[in-house]
Amino acid sequence: MKILHIINDLSNNGGAQRFLVDLVVKHKPHYEVKILVLHNDNDFEGVLKENGVSCYYWSSLSLKEKWNILRWPDLIHSHLFPSIYVALLAIGKKRVQTEHNTTNRRRDYPAFKFMEYLMYQRHERTICITNKVKEELVKFLPRYKDRYDVIYNGVDLKRFSREAKSYSQVQQDGPINIGMAGRLHGYKDHPTLIRAIANLPEKYHLHLAGDGDKKEELQALAVQLQCDHRVHWHGVISDVPTFLSKLDVYVQSSIIEGFGLAAVEAMAEGLPVFGSNVPGLDEVIGNDTYLFELGNEKQLANKIELICGDAAHYELATSYFVERCHSFTLEQFRESYYKAYDELYASK
CATH for 60: 3.40.50.2000
pLDDT of residue 55: 96
User: Average pLDDT, stretch 187-206?
Assistant: 98
Residues 68 and 203 reside in one and the same domain: no
Confidence tier at 126 by pLDDT (50, 70, 90)? very high
Residues 173 and 122 reside in one and the same domain: no
pLDDT score of 150 more than 80: yes
Candidate from 88-97, 192-201, 304-313 with smallest mean pLDDT: 88-97
pLDDT of residue 259: 87
pLDDT of residue 26: 81
Q: What is the pLDDT of residues 85-102, one digit of tens each?
A: 899 999 999 999 999 877
In the three-class reduction of DSSP (H, G, I as helix; E, B as strand; rest coil), residue 39 is classed as coil
User: Average pLDDT, stretch 256-265?
Assistant: 90
pLDDT of residue 235: 96
Q: What is the pLDDT of residues 171-186, one digit of tens each?
A: 988 899 999 999 999 9
User: Average pLDDT, stretch 68-95?
Assistant: 93
User: Average pLDDT, stretch 126-139?
Assistant: 92
Residues 174 and 139 reside in one and the same domain: no
Residues 89 and 33 reside in one and the same domain: yes
pLDDT score of 107 more than 70: no
DSSP state of 102: S
Residues 169 and 106 reside in one and the same domain: no
pLDDT of residue 348: 64
Share of the chain above pLDDT 90, in %: 79
Residues 143 and 161 reside in one and the same domain: no
User: Average pLDDT, stretch 58-78?
Assistant: 96
pLDDT of residue 270: 98
Confidence tier at 109 by pLDDT (50, 70, 90)? low
* Among candidate residues 182, 187, 253, 184, the one with its CA nearest the CA of residue 213: 184
Q: Which residues pair with 7 in a beta bridge?
A: 37
Residues 216 and 242 reside in one and the same domain: yes
Q: Which domain holds residue 114?
A: 2-153+330-346
Q: How far apart are CA 38 and CA 56, in angstroms?
A: 9
Residues of the chain by 3-state class (helix, strand, coil), percent to 5? 45, 20, 35
Confidence tier at 208 by pLDDT (50, 70, 90)? very high
pLDDT of residue 106: 63
pLDDT of residue 33: 96
Helices (H), 225-296: 240-245, 261-268, 281-285
Residues 305 and 164 reside in one and the same domain: yes
Confidence tier at 104 by pLDDT (50, 70, 90)? low
pLDDT of residue 8: 94
User: Average pLDDT, stretch 5-20?
Assistant: 88
User: Average pLDDT, stretch 71-98?
Assistant: 93
Q: What is the pLDDT of residues 28-61, one digit of tens each?
A: 888 999 999 999 889 899 999 999 999 999 999 9
Residues 164 and 308 reside in one and the same domain: yes
User: Average pLDDT, stretch 280-308?
Assistant: 97
Asked if 129 contacts 158 with a C-beta cutoff of 8 angstroms, the reply is no
- Give the sheet arrangement for strand 273-276, strand by strand: 231-235, 204-209, 176-181, 249-252, 273-276, 291-292
Domain count, the chain: 2
Residues 185 and 319 reside in one and the same domain: yes
Q: What is the pLDDT of residues 14-27, one digit of tens each?
A: 778 988 999 999 88
pLDDT of residue 108: 66
Q: How far apart are CA 244 and CA 250, in angstroms?
A: 8
Residues 141 and 171 reside in one and the same domain: no
Residues 323 and 334 reside in one and the same domain: no
pLDDT of residue 172: 85
Q: What is the pLDDT of residues 316-348, one digit of tens each?
A: 999 999 999 999 999 999 999 999 999 999 986
